[in-house]
Amino acid sequence: MVQPMIEKVLFDLGNVLLRFDFDRAYKAMAEHGAHVPKLKGESMDALKIEYETGAISNEEMYQRTAVLSGYHGSQEHFEQSWEDIFEENAPMVDFLRNLQTRGIPRYLLSNSNDLHVRHVETAYAVLEPFNDIIFSHQAKAMKPDEMIFEKAIAQFGLEPSKTAYIDDLADNIATGRRLGFQCIHYNPDAHDVAKNELRALGLITT
């Protein structure tokens, strides 16, 4: 079967272009009273979903995290801790910039939140190469729900069968496959595996 030509590439952000480790935030918050098992529990997971779908503000996230975990640091300290979890994944960022040089359209679909987006915009240049971006907290929906994928298809003018979609989470990839995307389930610790898949799609030529 002939592989359709890829016309556009849809990226995830976390653990694709930027590695992240929430344990760094939790360690900093623990120094101000936060109970780390609470920060890693189901209640916190549910709170993150509210935050990443834009249902609560930065201040509400701070206040509810404090109540949930026993954290008694300032909102400023909370925000600094919450932001300081990223580092650039150089091989994938290089790939993104190569696509830009070659004129292949690039789009970002990311589950994120206001604090992280503001930090990434300030601290990294990784968002600059994109033609367009959808963040979950602005869209009021998040992956793996089909709703946010459908929004991306419409807003970015994607034809899924001719779009490569790169994401680190299996549930998100499963939705992408149902919708017909050419999916690459990415592991930042195994970039060469993805490199071979991208080469097979004609997106890497060396």
If asked whether residues 40 and 123 sit together in one domain, one would say no
Residue 34: inside a domain: yes
pLDDT (tens digit per residue) in 119-144:
999 999 999 999 999 999 999 999 99
Q: Is residue 2 part of a domain?
A: no
Q: Round to whole Å and give the CA distance between 34 and 67.
A: 9
Residues 93 and 195 in one domain: yes
Judged on CB neighbours under 10 Å (0-12, 13-18, 19+), 71 is buried
In this model, does residue 179 exceed pLDDT 50?
yes
End of a domain among 68, 83, 98? 83
Domain that residue 77 falls in: 22-83
Are residue 92 and residue 174 in the same domain, yes or no? Answer: yes
Q: Does position 162 have pLDDT exceeding 50, yes or no?
A: yes
Residue 183 sits in the same domain as residue 107: yes
User: For the residues 74-97, what does the mean pLDDT come to?
Assistant: 96
Report yes or no on whether pTM surpasses 0.85: yes
Name the percent of the chain lying above pLDDT 90. 96
Whether residue 11 contacts residue 108, with contact meaning beta carbons closer than 8 Å, is answered with: yes
**Together in a domain, 142 and 68:** no
Are 137 and 114 a contacting pair, CB within 8 Å? Answer: yes
pLDDT at 1: 42
What does the pLDDT read at residue 4?
53
Confidence of residue 2 (pLDDT cuts 50, 70, 90): very low
Model confidence at 3: pLDDT above 90: no
Q: Give pLDDT, residue 5.
A: 85
**Could you give the CA distance from residue 98 to residue 193 in angstroms, rounded to a whole number?**
18
Domain boundary among 83, 103, 135: 83
pLDDT above 70 coverage of the chain, percent: 98
pLDDT digits (tens, 9 = 90+) for 90-125: 999 999 999 999 999 999 999 999 999 999 999 999
The CATH number of whichever domain residue 49 belongs to comes to 1.10.150
Query: Given 30, 57, 83, which residue is the final one in a domain?
Result: 83
- Pair (68, 98) in one structural domain: no
Alpha-carbon distances, residue 119 vs 25, 82, 122 (angstroms): 14, 10, 5
Structural domains of the chain, count: 2
Residue 1 maps to a domain: no
What pLDDT does 71 receive?
Answer: 97
Read off the CATH number of the domain in which 187 is found: 3.40.50.1000
Same domain? For 76 and 93 the reply is no
